[in-house]
Amino acid sequence: MNATMRIASFKLRRSVLYCPASNPKAMEKTGSLNCDAVIFDLEDSVAPAEKAAARERLRAFLLSDARPSCETVVRINALSSEWGADDLIAARGMKPDAILLPKVNGPSDILSADEALDEMDAPPTLKLWAMMETPQALINAGPIAALGSNPAARLDCLIAGTNDLVKELRASSDRDVLRPLLMQIVVAARAAGIAAIDGVANDFRDMNVVARECAEARAMGFDGKTLIHPAQVYPANAIFAPTAREVMEAREIVDIFSRPENADTNVVSLNGRMLERLHLEQAEVLLAQARAVEEAEESEE
């Protein structure tokens, strides 16, 4: 996907908050939060005995005026589970922006959900997100992400499921251990031109930990971070937004390449730096992100 396509399809996903569909008060609160997206969860946060009731509760909520105005995503149970098929049918009717598939192991998991949605006459605007939380998912990260390389494809985003990865790999939850695994997800997503969101920070009371993980995730190339508590929204929004210095430098890069004398130039000099047109593409994407942040802040006023 080229820079023009990335800019045209750019969506802010700095803060992606999980919300249990079994918690009515938490769902109602999402409308007052300034997160970029909410994942309404029917999977891990809902006990087996509560899944059917949670599904109906979520259906009623998302079809009401109380649903949040931000991007809405429904995480269903795995299609191989006893609840998955009913979840998918119900989620399609809830009119979310995307459906998040858990325990994705390979491209066939995405293709099965895609085919089922086509059979339901789901609109092409209904996207699929994939949880990358198993060893098989990491092995198949490239082929999974490649399904989203067509702008018309349903696959739109990869989510790092760090807690499940730690469990499945019997690894330490230390970020230094996880970083190579997280980079695999970023590389696969970037190769396909789709979004990549970091896993959760479990210590939601320590904002220093949250901020540090957000900074690390942004440095790795993630678009945002999944969150488990509303208090984490502010640091995620702040850290994943372009800084004033970054915006200024991006504008300078766009300006110098837009000059008539540089119309056919692939390399220019700016403030002692040699810049190529790839830097122009990076600058244009960053400015698109900055505009999206500004619009989001204006809508909150």
Q: Is 226 left (phi over 0), alpha (psi -120 to 50) or beta?
A: beta
| Terminal-to-terminal C-alpha distance of the chain | 34
Distance CA 97, CA 111 (A): 18
281 belongs to an annotated ligand binding site: no
Q: How many residues does the chain have?
A: 301
What are 101's strand-pairing partners? 130
50 belongs to an annotated ligand binding site: no
Is 54 within 8 Å of 46 (Cβ atoms)?
yes
Query: What is the Cα gyration radius of the chain?
Result: 20
CA angle 265, 291, 68 (to 5 degrees): 145
115 belongs to an annotated ligand binding site: no
The pairing of beta strand 273-276 with beta strand 267-270: antiparallel
Annotated binding site for Mg(2+): 133, 164
Residue numbers belonging to the annotated binding site for substrate: 75, 133
Binding residues: 75, 133, 164
